[in-house]
Amino acid sequence: MENQTQQVTPASEARSKVTLSQGRGGILGVKAGMTQVFTENGESLAVTVIDLQSAVVTQVKGKEKEGYSAVQVGFISRKAKSATKAEQGHAKKVGESGFYHYQEFRLENGATADGLSVGSVLSPDFLKEGDFVDLTAMSKGKGFQGGMKRFHMAGGFKSHGASVSHRSLGSIGNRADPAKCFKNKKMPGQMGHARTTVQNVRVVRVDLENNLLLVHGSVPGPKSGIVTVRRAVKKIG
């Protein structure tokens, strides 16, 4: 009897791919690091490599039931032992035990979720070389920092008896009246680890075969951080 070899297709490749092309579109990726590429003129460009891993559609929301139109996607699969029972039940319909990250992409006014079905994977086909995108990610956490690093304050005098007060903020009050420090005064505190968006970033290259996106310049956050890529809101139209 002849040996028959059965080829197993990965679940990510078996899923149908859809393009979220309404409005600003949307795709998720993981920051892989930075490198450089050379243009035809020999110019060196510093680029950030974004790994466009599979973003699976876990729920399609409509105005009839939820009151608004949106697509919920799950990103980066997680094992069942690290997911709650509720999360396992939510991800069961797409054949997964859970995801580390969930995110919604709102559809524009009047747009519908036609062609978007649960279990499909978002495709980066709406991105082309030369397009401009907005990149959103969590910035690196810097911990507790002073006013000079946090808000670029000038500091005090550097000599002539300044002692060790040359990095101080100076006066924070205001005379005898009102005799208090106003709210929202820029002072030392926790810096970083905030949702940050960089606008109008140019797409240098889109590698659909390896699911890689190369953008010009730096991207917020550390390596392995999750990055949301959408069309530049200031460039639409």
Starting at the earlier edge strand, list the strands of the sheet with 99-106. 17-19, 121-123, 55-61, 70-77, 99-106
Query: Do both 169 and 74 map to the same domain?
Result: no
**CB count in 10 Å sphere of residue 87:** 18
Structural domain includes residue 1:
no
57 has which bridge partners?
Answer: 73
* Domain contains 157: yes
Summarised one tens digit per residue, pLDDT across range 91-109 is: 998 989 999 999 999 887 6
Say whether both 19 and 112 belong to one domain. yes
- Residue 190 has a pLDDT of 96
DSSP-derived secondary structure for 177-188: TT-SPPTT---S
In terms of domains, do 82 and 166 share one? no
| Domain match, 29 and 87 both | yes
pLDDT tens for residues 35-73? Answer: 999 988 999 999 999 999 999 999 988 888 888 888 999
74-88: per-residue pLDDT in tens?
A: 999 999 999 999 999
SS3 state at 12 = helix
User: Model pTM?
Assistant: 0.81
The CATH number of whichever domain residue 226 belongs to comes to: 2.40.30.10
Domain shared by 109 and 168, yes or no: no
Judge whether 153 and 196 are in contact, CB under 8 Å.
no
In a domain, 89, yes or no: yes
| Residue 160 sits in the same domain as residue 132 | no
Question: If you average pLDDT over residues 222-227, what whole number do you get?
Answer: 95
The domain of 20 spans 15-141+195-231
- How many domains does the structure of the chain reveal? 2
Cα 7 → chain centroid:
35
Query: Do 60 and 38 reside in the same domain of the chain?
Result: yes
